[in-house]
Structure formats: C-alpha cells, structure tokens
C-alpha cells in the first residue's frame, strides 16, 4: 500500500522514478492537492499515478489541518474511491483513529477536486482578511468559491456527485482552510503588503520549508479556464490568479464582477 503525500509540483518526477519498480498486488492513495495541466486538459494527480505506474489510486482529502491532527484533536476526512468498495474500506481501517474519522465516497474526481480547488478559495479568503473586509465579505467569498468549485468539477467530470460537496472534503474543508490554513495566512500577508511582497518571498519567510499550493493551483485553474473558454464563468477563480500575478490589486477580490476577463 503506497501513500503519496508531497507537493503536487513534484509528483510527475516522482512517478517517473518509480516507473517499472512497482510489481505485484499494489494499491495507492494520494493526499496530494493539485493537478497537472496538459495540452489536452487537466490531469488529476490520482490519474497521473494510475497511468504512469499502472496501479489503482484512491484519494484522501478533508478538513484536516496537520498541526491539529498532530495533537489528536477530533477531525474528519474523506476517502474517494473508484471500483471496489473493499479497497476503500481497507484505507478507512488504516487511517481511522478515535480522533480521526474517515468516510468513503464513490467519487475520486469529486473528492480530489475539492481538495485541490479549496486552496484557491483560501487565497481569496486571505485577501479579504488582509484588507480587513470583515466576516460578511469572507462568508460571501467562501460561498461563491464553493459554487465555482462545484461548477468546475462537474464541467470537467460530469460523474462528480453533488453530495460530495457536503462531505469533509467539500464544504468543511473550505471552511477550515479559509479560517486557519497556510494559504489563507500567506495571502493575508500578501494583501497587507498591497502586493509589494511576492508570494515566493512570503512563502520562504512564513512557511519554513512547507510549500504553498493555492497560488500554483490558481495558475493551473486559470490555464484550464482559458484553454476551455470558461474564464467569464468563473470570475472568482480568474481574479485570484490575476491578483497573485500582480495584474490586479488585492481589492479586486470583491470587484471581480466588474472585470472584463
């Protein structure tokens, strides 16, 4: 049983190193948030693992910030699986503890996209916090972000289930990431500097070796939206990327309806 948990930008190289070295009865699970953007469209990390290594790959996502799990505070997570429920139950048994409750869902793409896209919403929430726009604004951004997460997921993979967004990987993960995650925290610092300090600089200073996922995911999502001609359908996602790259000021996070994307 192989568990993949690494920043998504390293996954292609890791899979290439493992290619041809995995034999026998092997199952994989990915905790990786992000996607590979190829000419033909987005490739989810679980699909990358499956295609390059020839093995089945489930996913584990959810509202579970690591430092809280480390001190054994109660948390939930979602295992997304395809095919047999039996392997999902095995992963549930492996990861479950008295303080960590795991639920299986027959929807790999939905679970994985929730875990990926929520980081873009967290960046938006961080901008709101950095500009001291208040809780009403932050709640609105979280709701709009969840709506765009659901709409994009179902456009990319029509099999995605509505019910997945009410699991830990969905609305709960959006809430916890927008309240306490590192993407929110670094985006808050970016907004406070009015974009004068880069995300790379802030990441190195604030995360002490951890990697920021939301900024690179926002870029990848923007590329998918542009490739498919969907930019106007997803104004929040589009605006987050443009703020991250300096094309818009952080204040634009609540003005995006007026932007011509």
Report the catalytic residues.
118
- Nearest Cα neighbor of 141 from 160, 118, 164 is 118
Cα dihedral 202, 203, 205, 208 in deg (nearest 10): 170
DSSP string, 15-32: HHHHTT---SS-EEEE--
H-helix or E-strand spanning residue 111: helix 108-130
Token duo for residue 243: 């703020």
H-helix or E-strand spanning residue 41: strand 41-44
Q: Which residues of 29-57 are buried (b: 16+ CB within 10 A; e: fewer)?
A: bbbbbbbebeeeebebbbbbbbebbebbb
Contact 227, 218 (CB under 8 A): no
Tell me how far apart the terminal alpha carbons of the chain are, to the nearest angstrom: 44
| Residues belonging to the chain | 261
3-state secondary structure 176-204: HHHHHCHHHHHHHHHHHCCCCCCHHHHHH
Q: Give how far the C-alpha of residue 54 lies from the chain's centroid of Cα atoms, to the nearest Å.
A: 24
Q: How far apart are CA 65 and CA 75, in angstroms?
A: 9
């Amino acid at each position: 049983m192989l568990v993949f948990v690494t920043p998504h930008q390293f996954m292609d190289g890791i899979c290439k190193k493992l290619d041809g070295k995995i034999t026998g009865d092997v199952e994989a699970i990915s905790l990786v948030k992000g996607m590979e953007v190829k000419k033909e469209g987005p490739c989810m990390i679980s699909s990358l693992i499956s295609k390059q290594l020839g093995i089945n790959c489930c996913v584990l996502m959810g509202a579970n910030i690591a430092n809280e799990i480390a001190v054994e505070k109660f948390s939930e997570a979602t295992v997304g699986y395809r095919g047999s429920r039996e392997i999902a139950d095995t992963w549930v048994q492996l990861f479950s503890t008295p303080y960590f409750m795991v639920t299986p869902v027959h929807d790999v793409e939905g679970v994985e996209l929730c875990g990926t896209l929520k980081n873009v919403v967290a960046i938006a929430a961080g901008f709101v916090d950095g500009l001291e726009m208040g809780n009403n604004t932050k709640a609105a951004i979280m709701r709009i972000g969840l709506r765009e997460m659901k709409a994009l997921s179902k456009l990319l993979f029509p099999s995605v289930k509505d019910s997945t967004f009410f699991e830990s990987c969905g609305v709960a993960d959006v809430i916890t990431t927008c309240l306490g995650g590192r993407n929110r925290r670094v985006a808050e610092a970016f907004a406070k500097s009015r974009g004068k300090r880069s995300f790379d600089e802030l990441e190195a200073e604030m995360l002490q070796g951890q990697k920021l996922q939301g900024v690179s995911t926002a870029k990848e999502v923007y590329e998918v939206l542009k490739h498919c001609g969907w930019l106007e359908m997803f104004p929040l996602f589009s605006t987050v990327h443009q703020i991250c790259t300096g094309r818009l000021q952080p204040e634009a996070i609540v003005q995006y309806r007026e932007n011509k994307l």
